[in-house]
């Protein structure tokens, strides 16, 4: 056992103990910050630790304390600022809480169920975004063992969810469009793809109902740039009757607006366009894109924190926790520039 420092590899608690002339228990105590250690011992250990550049092996420690001290974060992908910002908030808070973060991107991955199992085998809890689009079996089985928090998803009996407000802001933004005198609004994006888009559409519908109007069926397109281009071309071809487009996110809104303008339409003169997320580009385009800002970073931080609580034994909060969002008026909706 007490083999000293294997060449090149990291020192072990044994090599440190040997060098310090104490037992491994003392080394552990010093490192754990236990009070029951004499100053002399502490000093000797610290010196040895420093000399050997010792750091306890994560796996060994995890096995002993039965905790991984790591959070798993599951995201669909990473395009656009939304996921990045969320990840940033999550990592920051997790680090403050002493947790490592293990990241898994689901898009394009084959055996998701297995991947998530493996992830669950090396973290204390999971935060999952886009759970609805995961294969049925993927989250099954994790539940009940590791705590799981759903991001921007629907809370369930035993799994809590955290998200940003959608319906109310969508309703507010829709109403704003009405106030600009727009009559034929179209919701661009498929409400069935994600709970938050669904809720935005609900707000869109609610605003119509309040005006005793009937909301049009949503344009069930995906959310990438290409999809926006395709849709905009339909508009340019005169196949779509609308004077305002409520896009499910900014990427979509931006590509739609851009294509429309290229096709000779005036935004917002001929048609208004609004988005969701307030990405950087939204400020740079002309006209500035009216959109809704979500506190994404804070959301990420909150998720990390809730997860940490859960791992620490706190019970799951019931229902969905919602962070406030904010409508950002620029001029693509019809408001005067600046």
Partner DNA sequence: CTGTTAGCGCTTTCAC
Partner DNA sequence: GTGAAAGCGCTAACAG
Phi, psi (deg, nearest 5) at residue 310: -60, -45
CA 328, chain centre distance (Å)? 21
Cα separation, 5 vs 225, whole angstroms: 55
For the segment 35-54, give every residue that binds DNA (CB under 7 A): 35-38, 40-42, 54
Cα separation, 202 vs 154, whole angstroms: 15
Tokens of 208: 């119509």
Task: Tell me how crowded residue 177 is: count the other CB atoms within 10 A of its CB.
Answer: 23
User: Applying CB under 7 A, does 26 fall inside the site for DNA?
Assistant: yes
Rule CB under 8 A: choose which of 41, 74, 85, 163 binds a second copy.
85
Helix axes 250-262, 225-236, angle to 10 degrees: 40
User: Applying CB under 7 A, does 99 fall inside the site for DNA?
Assistant: no
Stretch that binds DNA, among 16-24, 68-76, 85-93, 189-197 (CB under 7 A): 16-24
Q: How many residues bind a second copy (CB under 8 A)?
A: 53
Stretch that binds a second copy, among 29-37, 120-128, 176-184, 323-331 (CB under 8 A): 120-128
Cα separation, 25 vs 40, whole angstroms: 15
User: Applying CB under 8 A, does 226 fall inside the site for a second copy?
Assistant: no
User: Applying CB under 7 A, does 23 fall inside the site for DNA?
Assistant: yes
User: Applying CB under 8 A, does 95 fall inside the site for a second copy?
Assistant: yes
User: Applying CB under 8 A, does 293 fall inside the site for a second copy?
Assistant: no
Q: Which does 36 bind (CB under 5 to 8 A by kind): DNA, a second copy, none?
A: DNA
Q: Which does 289 bind (CB under 5 to 8 A by kind): a second copy, DNA, none?
A: none
Cα separation, 164 vs 162, whole angstroms: 7
Task: Tell me how crowded residue 222 is: count the other CB atoms within 10 A of its CB.
Answer: 15
Per the CB < 8 A criterion, the answer to whether 185 and 215 are in contact is yes
Stretch that binds a second copy, among 27-35, 111-119, 127-135, 310-318 (CB under 8 A): 111-119
Q: Which does 24 bind (CB under 5 to 8 A by kind): a second copy, DNA, none?
A: DNA
For the segment 226-285, give every residue that binds DNA (CB under 7 A): none
Stretch that binds a second copy, among 140-148, 150-158, 268-276, 310-318 (CB under 8 A): 140-148
SS3 of the chain: helix, strand, coil, percent, to 5: 45, 15, 40
Stretch that binds DNA, among 12-20, 107-115, 127-135, 330-338 (CB under 7 A): 12-20
Rule CB under 8 A: choose which of 28, 100, 321, 326 binds a second copy.
100
DSSP symbol at 337: P
């Amino acid at each position: 056992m007490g083999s000293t420092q294997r060449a090149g590899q990291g020192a072990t608690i044994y090599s440190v103990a040997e060098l310090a002339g104490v037992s491994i228990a003392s080394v552990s105590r010093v490192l754990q910050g236990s009070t029951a250690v004499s100053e002399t011992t502490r000093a000797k250990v610290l010196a040895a630790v420093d000399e050997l550049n010792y750091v306890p092996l994560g796996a060994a420690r995890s096995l002993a304390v039965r905790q991984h001290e790591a959070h798993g974060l599951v995201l669909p992908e990473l395009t656009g600022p939304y996921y990045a910002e969320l990840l940033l908030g999550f990592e920051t808070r997790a680090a403050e809480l002493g947790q490592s973060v293990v990241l898994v991107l689901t898009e394009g991955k084959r055996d998701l169920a297995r991947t998530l199992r493996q992830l669950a085998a090396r973290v204390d809890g999971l935060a999952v975004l886009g759970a609805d689009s995961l294969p049925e079996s993927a989250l099954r089985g994790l539940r009940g063992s590791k705590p799981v928090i759903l991001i921007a998803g629907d809370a369930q009996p035993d799994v809590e969810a955290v998200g940003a407000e959608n319906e109310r802001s969508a309703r507010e933004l829709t109403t704003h469009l009405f106030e600009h005198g727009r009559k034929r609004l179209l919701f661009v994006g498929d409400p069935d793809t994600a709970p938050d888009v669904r809720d935005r559409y609900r707000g869109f519908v609610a605003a119509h109902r309040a005006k005793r109007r009937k909301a049009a069926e949503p344009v069930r397109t995906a959310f990438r740039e290409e999809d926006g281009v395709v849709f905009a071309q339909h508009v340019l071809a005169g196949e779509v009757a609308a004077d305002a487009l409520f896009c499910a996110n900014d990427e979509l809104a931006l590509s739609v607006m851009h294509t429309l303008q290229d096709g000779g339409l005036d935004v917002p003169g001929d048609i208004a366009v609004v988005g969701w997320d307030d990405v950087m580009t939204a400020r740079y385009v002309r006209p500035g894109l009216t959109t809704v800002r979500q506190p994404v970073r804070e959301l990420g931080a909150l998720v990390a924190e809730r997860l940490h609580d859960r791992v620490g034994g706190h019970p799951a909060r019931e229902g969905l926790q919602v962070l406030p969002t904010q409508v950002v008026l620029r001029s693509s909706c019809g408001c005067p520039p600046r």
